[in-house]
Amino acid sequence: MKNKITISVPSDLLYWPMIEAFYEKLVEEINFGKKEAKDLKNAFYELFENSVVHAYKEEEGYITIDFIIFHNALQIDVHDKGMPIDPNIIKAVPIDLKKRNKGLNRVYKLVDEFAFHNLGLEGKKFTIIKYTPYTLQLHHAQGFYSDILDDFTEELKKSLSQKLVVRTFKEGDEVWIPKLIYKNYGYTYFKDIFYFPDKILQKEKSGDVLSIVAEVDKQIVGHFALVRLPRSNIAEIGIAVVDPAFKGMGIMKKMFELLLLKAKELRLDALFGEAITFHPYSQRANARYGFKTSALLLGEIHHMVRLKDHPYPFRDKRGAVVIEYKLFKKRPKKLFIPRFYEDIVQKTYNLFDLAFTREKPKPGEKTTIELHYEKSFALGIVIVDEADGAFAANFKQIFEEALTKHPDMIYADINLEKVASIDNVIDVLHTFGFFYAGVLFLRKEGNDYLRMQFEASERIEEKRIVCYSDFCKELHRYILEDKKRVYKNI
């Protein structure tokens, strides 16, 4: 990140004057407000002193400080590998009003955001953020374009159109795709096979992936792909990247149009995308081509994922994705709808103009559960295709197995067309802390699934979620309310 500065110093208060001098120069350069700068510095000193006096009380060590500049805020992280602290101390902030002008309570009072992160083997970190009412002077960074809009002049677009070739993948392109991923994400992209040219080529040859590329002067400057789902006739759209030097020229738009054409040629039943919620651009692009929201998955994006030169308002939490579908074929269905989520499921199907009839819930004859664990993503997915009277015990066993793999999130997919005892299944999932996520159409063998979600980590971003569609915003509110309802009854 161009607007991040890191300093590491020995754990000694003798180094504070040097750090203070740097801080004063920094806030002057970025034109940070005087009052805001003073409050932030006082909070910063409290944390630095805390690391020196308490974390390294009887030993020597280092304190690492990150200064992160946003367009309207300055964030400071104070990281040490000294003595762990009692988490109850953090939970007491800002309750102890008698000590509101001391220690961590004072820090809380001085800043706009204050967080503690237990990093396990990497020690611990405090984060403080102070906002300013006006835009700061940042290090010059490349504009963050939507890739789907036309941000360049007509003259530039005309010149580009004469050179631009948008086509399907051919052997040799696999060498360029990792370069595009790196230019956009560095080494943080969660679908890591796209850093390996040989794996990309293998997927293309097998038909699991169909890539669209954009070429200018024999250089690959854009990539967009269809990823076929196993045991289904649908595909995910994704791995959409454009060389930063060519963003804003409408390249993504042209690739998207060819991608849709190829999907129809393949006679796919549907396409779906997982649009990140750090910004609205990919959601807006999907909406332009008829995609609609069906689910919102908290914690789907690993916290390590970074878009280059895009300063996130949070750095240590997993991000959410919006699941958006474009249906090519619509068939009436017979579904088992859980009474607890009847209204929101009905509203989702109405949004897609999908007709269905309700099957009456009844006892199941057997239980069929599968567990899939995605190590690279730190995600577990439990798939429930049938459920009988022993479902609770069977689910407990597979849930505990999932937890042993240390996931950050666990999702549960319930087959809406086969799980006759769906009300019982939902009741069981609630007792384990699962709450609503949405509907996944045609997910496996043409069947629709209800997805539930469980947070196995505290590092899940729930509030800083940018939704483009009205239904996504409604779904966001509904999910957070459902989580409260579920947790209240556990």
CATH number of the structural domain spanning residue 236: 3.40.630.30
Give pLDDT, residue 293.
Answer: 98
Q: Which has the higher per-residue pLDDT, 184 or 63?
A: 63
253 and 109, same domain (yes or no): no
State both tokens at 127.
Answer: 């984060």
Dihedral sign, Cα of residue 78, residue 84, residue 88, residue 89: negative
> What percent of the chain lies above the pLDDT cut of 70?
87
Counting the structural domains of the chain, the total is 3
Q: Which domain holds residue 464?
A: 353-489
Model pLDDT for residues 329-362, shown as the tens digit of each residue: 999 999 999 999 999 999 999 999 999 999 988 8
Do 158 and 126 fall into the same domain?
A: no
Question: Which H helix or E strand runs over 252?
Answer: helix 251-265
Nearest alpha-carbon partner for 476 in 288, 342, 344: 344
The answer, yes or no, to whether residue 153 has pLDDT greater than 70, is: no
Query: Is the domain of 274 the same as that of 376?
Result: no
Distance (Å, whole) CA 112 – CA 127: 11
Q: Does some domain include residue 332? A: no
pLDDT digits (tens, 9 = 90+) for 111-120: 988 888 888 8
Which CATH number do you get for residue 20? 3.30.565.10
Which of the two residues, 261 and 309, has the higher pLDDT score?
A: 261
Q: What is the pLDDT of residues 98-115, one digit of tens each?
A: 555 556 888 888 998 888
Residue 343 within any structural domain of the chain: no
Please tell me which residue, 151 or 270, carries the higher pLDDT value: 270
pTM over 0.75: no
Query: Which position has the higher pLDDT, 190 or 317?
Result: 317
Burial class (CB in 10 A: 0-12, 13-18, 19+), 126: buried
Domain membership of residue 340 (yes or no) is: no
Q: 308 pLDDT band (50/70/90 cuts)? A: low
- Which pLDDT score, from 0 to 100, does residue 120 have? 83
Q: Tell me the per-residue pLDDT of 361-408, one tens digit each, with 9 for 90 and over.
A: 888 888 899 999 988 788 999 999 999 999 999 999 999 999 999 999
Structural domain includes residue 62: yes
